Amino acid sequence: MRYDVRALSADHVMVQLTVDANDEADARRQVDARGLFTATISPLRASGISWLMPRGPGAARFSLVLFSQELLALLTAGLSIVESLDALLEKETNANTQGVLNRLLNGLREGKRFSQVLAEQSDLFPPLYIGIVKAAEGTSDLPRSLTRFIDYQQRIDSVRNKIISAAIYPLILMIVGGGVSAFLIGYVVPRFAEVYQGTGRKLPWLSQLLLDWGQFAATHTQTLVIGALIALPVLFLTLRHFLARGGVSKLMHRLPGIGERARIYELSRLYLTLGMLLEGGIPIVSAMNTVHDMVSLQIRTGLSHAREAIQSGGSLSAAFEANQLTTPISLRMLRVGERSGELGQMLTQSAAFYDGEISRWIDRFTRTFEPILMAIIGIIVGGIVVLLYMPIFDLAGSLS
């Protein structure tokens, strides 16, 4: 949060500055560290239209992956954690990131552990990141843990970006096709309805139905526009509530053909996260506690039962199999990992196997779905045009 501070300098000059801090006490500490005496401090309020304005470079979001990559490079070069953060602060120009680095440095200079000062900014550093740093503090191998996290995040981003890229073209087709259809039904059909209204000829049933809609739209245009303006915010809020309640995940699991792929994708994320934590030296139960809030509701329930089974003395492979958290291939790899003592590595390899399978399935699905979607849009637009011109064809036939 940003605070507006008025402070008195050592030469008795009143200065005004903006501080990015966790709370008012943290902002006051930052001002005191600059050798200033705080006079007034208050939360910085944005103007009423600020959300409409473009955000400047100072409003950019803190990048955890970039921070980890830069910190890893400096630690690998032989700098200590405090020296590395100092170096990052010197080159940083973003005000938000400067505030994050300042809080980290202040915490370390107060004698706190690195994982502890990360936990104080839990809105920026997730439990997974804090967990691997805490485990690294016990082995004094922070660079290796950062390397694991960077690889983990890049693999997740790679699959996510592939899904997003595959969805862009069909989404554009749907928007364009829907826009053309709406234009034809909302503008062209009413004009044709006015032309055919006085002919007195009996039209085909579908053409008559379409033209009846056109006449209704022409006479109730204002009502339809107001209804659309009311329906759009309601639809947006409903969709937002649907997403917040995990509705997309539930819907994906119920779709034939897609549901199993969605389940494999979630299992792949589970295996990859658990594998990274186990390779970092975190016990399996603690790793499952960390992952618990990162998975969907369906996986979360099975994971809770599996954790209870492991705490009772069961093996990971048996607990996962009993709670439907495995596939035939991943179950065999888990058993191999338990026998060889390389359970974390086997989980990571299982995730890599299914990531490749998901990528291949996405390619096949998009190559099949895009032509089908184009054909459906063409049929809808072509059907509207044909229904509009059928009376003309009928009239031309009667005249000849």
Distance from the Cα of residue 392 to its chain's centroid:
51
Predicted TM-score of the model (pTM): 0.63
Q: Taking a C-beta distance cutoff of 8 angstroms, is the pair 292, 304 a contact?
A: yes
pLDDT above 70 for 230: yes
Query: Residue 217 burial by CB count (10 A; 0-12/13-18/19+): exposed, middle or buried?
Result: middle
Backbone angles phi, psi at 300, to 5 degrees: -65, -40
Q: Taking a C-beta distance cutoff of 8 angstroms, is the pair 348, 279 a contact?
A: yes
Q: Can you tell me the distance from the alpha carbon of 363 to that of 366, in angstroms, rounded to the nearest whole number?
A: 5
Domains of the chain by start residue, with CATH? 2-45 (3.10.20), 63-125 (no CATH), 148-400 (1.20.81.30)
Could you read off the pLDDT of 65-114 as tens digits, one per residue?
A: 888 888 888 888 888 888 888 888 888 888 888 888 888 888 888 888 88
Question: How does the average pLDDT of the chain come out, rounded?
Answer: 77
Q: Taking a C-beta distance cutoff of 8 angstroms, is the pair 276, 149 a contact?
A: yes
Token reading at 292:
């618990």
pLDDT above 70 for 221: yes
Compare 391 and 108 and report the one with higher pLDDT: 108
pLDDT above 60 for 58: no
Could you read off the pLDDT of 185-218 as tens digits, one per residue?
A: 777 777 776 666 665 666 667 777 777 777 777 6
Q: Can you tell me the distance from the alpha carbon of 265 to that of 357, in angstroms, rounded to the nearest whole number?
A: 9
Q: List alpha helices for 188-296, DSSP H.
A: 189-196, 205-219, 221-244, 247-254, 258-279, 284-291
Report pLDDT for 147. 85
Closest CA to 328 of 293, 353, 348: 353
The residues that bridge with 41 in the sheet, in sequence order, are: 5
First to last CA, the chain: 78
